[in-house]
Amino acid sequence: MPRKVIKLDDGIIRREIRDFILANFLPREKAATLGDTDLLFESGIIDSAGAMTLIAHIEKRFGLRIPDEELFPENFATIKKTVAYISVRLNGSKTKKPREIRP
């Protein structure tokens, strides 16, 4: 049986990142308490070890390899910025067709 193909749009990416952060860094919090523009590092939600956990998850889940020269806190400072970074890496630009992956 062929595997199902999922198109990754920003909404899917956002849900994946939000769910991962809530499960791994804010396990007792409700989703509504984490906004897309909340500062993940400055607010203490994610520390340096947590940043590496997040990066490893992004690389594994989305099939990316994030080069060292792009490992800046600014790229991952908020959920919104993280989603934008992943989307550009997956799709090139906002005007291109979303990349397809097989789960």
pLDDT band at 103 (very low <50, low <70, confident <90, very high): very low
Count of residues for the chain? 103
pLDDT of residue 24: 96
Mean pLDDT for all residues in the chain: 86
Q: Which of the four CATH numbers 3.30.70.270, 3.40.50.300, 1.10.1200.10, 3.30.2270.10 does domain 6-91 have?
A: 1.10.1200.10
Domain ranges (residues) in the chain: 6-91
